[in-house]
Structure formats: C-alpha cells, structure tokens
Structure 1
C-alpha cells in the first residue's frame, strides 16, 4: 500500500478491511471448536468447563482487541518510529 502512494491511514483502513473476514472466520472456527468443552457434562466436566470457558472468553477478547486495536497501534508505531524526514 505504501508503494502505491496511499497515505498511512488510508492504507491501514484498507488492509484492515481486507483482513477482517479471515480474522473473524479463524476466530469463530476456534471458538466453535472449544464449545464442546464449555457445554460438557458428566465425569470431569468441571475442569473441561473451566478450561473451555477461559479459552473461549480469551479468544473472544483477543479477537475484539485485534480487530480494533492492532490497526491503531500500527499507525501509532509507524508514526513514532518513522524514518521519514519532513
């Protein structure tokens, strides 16, 4: 994007739009894969529920943080450590 002459914000927004669907699909697949641990019953289900709930909550939180904060941090870091001499 930088080589195409787009600004930092414009390039970051476009890259964020391009990566949104793959991030969501991967995260949802993982969360659905953990669901049997969350809803398990029977012997040993207490530990499975605890692990599943923690993993699912962590993945939901990480997904939301990644979607919103990674582009912001990218822009902040690029501006802070840019070797551009204006």
Structure 2
C-alpha cells in the first residue's frame, strides 16, 4: 500500500513539475522519514501495526509537501541565479515554513503519544501512528534540509560545475 501511494505521488510530481530529476530529489525525503519512523518504533518499543501503517501514509504526504516547498523555490530561483545560489536562497526562505509545518504536526501528535494507559483503546489505536509521524517527521525534516539540496545539486552536476567555472573565470578576469 505504501509503495502504491509513493508511486501515485511520483506520477503526480512528474506531471506537475515536468522534471524527473526534481521529482526524484523530492522522493529522496521518503527514506529519511522511514528511518525516523523505524527508529521511533524501536526507541518506544512499539510494533508495526495498522495504526503505524496509517501514520506512514500520513507521513508520506507531509514529508513530500515539505520537500516540494523547498524544491519548487530552488527551481524558481534557477531562472535568475546559479544552482548553488538558488539552493542557498531557497534554504533560507523556506526553512521557516518547513519547520512550522513539521513542528505543528509534531505538537498535534504529542497528546496521542503520551495518552495515559487508562485510555487503552485510544492508546492502542493512536500510539503507533503518533510514534511514526513524530519521529519520522523530526528526522526527515532535519535531514531533508541537508540531503535534498545536496542531491538536487548532484542531479544538476554538469550545469552547476559549468556555472562555477564561469563564475570563477569572471572573478579572475575582474580581479586582474
């Protein structure tokens, strides 16, 4: 089910962005979310169940949205800046909205995570979901801000290298 949802997300990204590289750069955030989710399940001694599976599906949407916000800004900036400058500016401008989205979701899930044992039916249904979303979102948000820009530039290595060489040539010429 998760692979199906990721496939649908990928197809939507391809159609919307019209860029295979940008779509892949966005999807790279998903393994980061999975790492955080699994780490959270291990730390809290929770099992993988229906609730945690639903949390994974929720996480796909949130993590991809944060990555889209960043990559879309980079692509917009590329029209007037070098790739590296576009990435740096996008990171600065989109950091706050990405963190706000992640923190709002994490804080909204905290009551589910710390539900008292007396609310057993609520706890059984929601704890796995909360663990997966909270840990997955924290890890993926922190790593997404580093990994996605890195992969984006790697996916455009030739263009970025050409821009750096051109920039260095101009600065050498002006410096003489």
Partner SS, residue 156 of structure 2: helix
Q: 2:141 aligns with which of 37, 59, 63?
A: 63
In the alignment, what sits opposite 1:75? 153
Distance 1:35 1:2 in 2: 38
Superposition map of 1:7-86 within 5 A: 7-41=82-116, 42=118, 43-44=120-121, 45-79=123-157, 82=159
Number of equivalences = 82
Deviation of 1:48 (Å): 2.6
Q: TM-score normalised to the size of structure 2?
A: 0.42
Could you report, residue by residue, the CA deviation over 1:9-65 in whole angstroms, capped at 9, with x for unpaired residues? Answer: 112101111110000000000111111111101222244323312221111111112
Distance 2:113 2:78 in 1: 44
Which consecutive residues of structure 1, in runs of 5 or more, have no partner in the other structure?
none
Distance 2:113 2:107 in 1: 10
- RMSD over aligned CA atoms reads 2.0
In the alignment, what sits opposite 1:3? 79
- Aligned structure 1 segments of 4 or more residues deviating by more than 3 angstroms: none
Change (3 A) 1:3 1:49: closer
In terms of fraction of residues, the more helix-rich structure is: 2
More moved, 15-24 vs 38-47: 38-47
Distance 2:141 2:78 in 1: 26
